């Protein structure tokens, strides 16, 4: 898997980058942040509305729109495969 980049909404203790060997329920596991929440009419499948974030950071950020760090959106072909 390619480098997931840096967390766009760092919270306290955020390591910045991602460790893809973590369990997907780990607080620092990779997850996708949607700066334009679906509740605000944003598409959750639009690549320009998908940014890398940590589970915990995303949780703390909540449904606020936008991002904290200026970064590029994920590549259109980006996909995350969760362990089943
Ligand atoms: Zn983070």
Q: Which two tokens stand for residue 80?
A: 């995350």
Structural domain span for residue 61: 1-74
**How many folded domains does the chain comprise?**
1
Ligand 1 centroid from CA 76, angstroms: 21
Would residue 81 count as lying in a domain?
no
Instruction: Kindly list the protein residues that place their beta carbon closer than 5 angstroms to ligand 1, a single-atom ion.
Output: 7, 10, 14, 54, 57
Q: pLDDT tens digits, residue range 30-80? A: 999 998 888 778 888 888 889 999 999 999 998 888 888 776 666 665 555
Would residue 47 count as lying in a domain?
yes
Q: pLDDT tens digits, residue range 2-24? A: 455 899 999 999 999 999 999 99
Would residue 79 count as lying in a domain?
no
Ligand 1 centroid from CA 55, angstroms: 7
Q: What is the pTM of this model?
A: 0.73
Would residue 84 count as lying in a domain?
no
Ligand 1 centroid from CA 43, angstroms: 22
């Amino acid at each position: 898997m390619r480098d997931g980049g840096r967390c766009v909404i760092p919270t306290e203790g955020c390591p910045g980058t991602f460790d893809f060997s973590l369990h997907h329920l780990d607080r620092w596991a990779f997850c996708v942040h949607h700066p334009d929440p679906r509740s605000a009419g944003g598409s959750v499948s639009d690549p320009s509305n998908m940014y890398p974030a940590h589970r915990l950071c995303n949780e703390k950020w909540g449904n606020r729109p936008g991002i904290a760090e200026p970064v590029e959106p994920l590549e259109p072909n980006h996909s995350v495969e969760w362990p089943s």
